Structure 1
Amino acid sequence: MPRHLLMRLRAPLVAFGGETIDNYGVIRDFPALSMVTGLIANALGYDRGDFVSHDRLQARLVLGTRLDASGARLVDFQTAQLGDRDEAWTTRGAPETRRGGEDSYKSPHLRHREYHAGLDALVAIRLEGADEKPTLEDIASALDRPKRPLFIGRKPCLPTTRLFVDMIDADDVLDALQRAPARDATDAANFRFQLPEGEGALRHAQWQDICDERNWKSGVHGGWRRVLEGGGSRSPGRSL
């Protein structure tokens, strides 16, 4: 059976980002493929400009998620009066400044940011080309000893538990997620899943087309990926 890595995404605030429109940063129910790619790349110490390594890592990832607790949605309204000499911290090592002419500093900087409060997600990943670097073992080691600080979606979302959970041999992503223990039978009955096509089937689920793959050179998301979202026990028969 193929080997899978289990990763726990848990923090007081989590942001599984969706499409940002103007100053509104919305969230999705499940982590995007690009978000998990970026988190792992950050742990491995990839340079932000190493587009080839990011694209290859994203292409190799087979990713599924189990929501152990969905949490509640919170909207944070952010306002700050910034001057032309004010700088913000960034993960790329270069300070961020506000763009625009003199008039851009006369009004406050406004943002609306959605977050998940109290969310607890278990992620199972498998790498196509298992012997290619980085391996799952490399990723597990990097998650425990990351090259840079890790966050779950946005900079304030610092994990409150160890990200790496375990390695597990399983038939597919759903099998890996279902083999991971639950706190009790009630929890297991309420789990929600998101699975890539061909990685398991559930009795109460629907197909969704999502756009969560990033072109790391342009910074733009594109294309569509088919996933299964829902809950319940495994559907009998062959995976769709």
Structure 2
Amino acid sequence: MTRRWLHLHLAAPLMAFGGVTIDHVGPTRDYPSASALTGLFANALGWRHEDTIAHQALQDRMEFAALSALPEGRHAPLVVTDMQNAKLEKNDKGWTTWGQPEGRAGATYDSPHRRRRDYLADHDTHVVLRLTTDDAPTLEHLAKALDRPARPLFLGRKPCLPTRRLFAGWIEADSPHAALKALAAQGLTGRALWPDDGRPYEGALKYDLQDLRNWKSGLHGGTRIVCEGDIA
């Protein structure tokens, strides 16, 4: 059955799609996660961080695939690593996502606070996405919100501002992989990720992906099986 897919074009000098963070190291994936897309739409719609039920319902309804349109001659995304160092004194405080300032704990203030964050540089990603039910918000609501967002939008981390319109039109296809092939028919080819549907795809890798979030707890919320391969 042919379905309608929202086409997103994510492009920026720097962007980050998150990943499994260990200690101070924050990596980036090659493709946006389900939780990242949920957050992007929620920000465009003007939802607040505590609107956990709405976030969870939207994430649970999403079906999507993503394609990295790499420049000719480049076979993998270009990753830039940012080493961040900040010395926090005893009385220094910072704002948090739960609306309360948080101070420094412990008795030692001489050592700097270090973080490592990876970014995709000069990246170009296309996403095809549909919603599995007709509940609000609909695909049309999401498209309008991307063009007139309630708040400024960013791609993964707040410094990563998009350089072009995110809503790129509509695709008609009967599956995520078919939607990717429809992009290829428009000249958009590259490495892609799509949900496993049980069909054999020659040359594609199949693996478990940890990209779901439990929006109530704010922690990892499960895995899904995906396929990764070339779309030409």
TM-score, structure 1 length as denominator? 0.86
Q: Say if 1:172 and 1:199, in contact at 8 Å, map to a contact too.
A: no
- CA distance 1:201–1:149, change in 2 (3 Å): farther
Q: Against the structure 1 CA distance between its residues 183 and 207, is the aligned structure 2 distance closer, same or farther, given a 3 Å change threshold?
A: same
Deviation (angstroms), 1:222: 2.9
Task: Tell me the distance in 1 between the aligned counterparts of 2:110 and 2:52.
Answer: 37
Q: Which residue of 2 aligns with 1:172?
A: 175
Kindly provide the amino acid, as one letter, of the partner of residue 41 in structure 1: A
Task: Report the AA paired with residue 128 of structure 1.
Answer: T
Cα distance in structure 2, aligned partners of 1:81 and 1:165? 43
- 1:34 has 2:35 as partner: yes
Call closer, same or farther: CA 1:205–1:98 in 2, change over 3 Å: farther
**Distance in structure 1 (CA, Å) of the matches to 2:161 and 2:127:** 17
Instruction: Give the alignment of 1:1-240 within 5 angstroms.
Output: 1-69=2-70, 70-84=76-90, 86=92, 88=94, 92=97, 94=99, 97-103=102-108, 105-129=109-133, 131-180=134-183, 188=189, 191-198=190-197, 202-233=201-232
Amino acid at match of 1:175: A
Report the Cα offset of residue 106 of structure 1: 2.5
Q: 1:65 to 1:75 in 2, by over 3 A?
A: same
Output the amino acid matched with 2:116: H
- Structure 1 stretch displaced more, 195-204 or 68-77: 195-204
Cα RMSD between the aligned structures? 2.2
Q: Which runs of 5+ in 2 are unaligned?
A: 71-75
CA displacement, residues 189-224 of structure 1 (integer Å, 9 cap, x when unaligned) = xx1110012297643211010111100011111322
Q: Which amino acid is the alignment partner of residue 5 of structure 1?
A: L
Shift of 1:30: 1.3
Name which of structure 1's ranges 66-75 and 115-124 shifts more when overlaid on structure 2.
66-75
Using the TM superposition, give the Cα deviation of residue 82 of structure 1 relative to its aligned residue in structure 2, in angstroms. 2.8
**Aligned equivalents of 2:165 and 2:200: distance in 1?**
29
Would the aligned equivalents of 2:194 and 2:228 in 1 still touch at CA under 8 Å?
yes
Q: Which runs of 5+ in 1 are unaligned?
A: 234-240
Query: What residue identity is the alignment partner of 1:151?
Result: F
Tell me how far apart the structure 2 counterparts of residues 168 and 31 of structure 1 sit (CA, whole Å): 19
- Aligned counterparts of 1:136 and 1:157: Cα–Cα separation in 2: 24
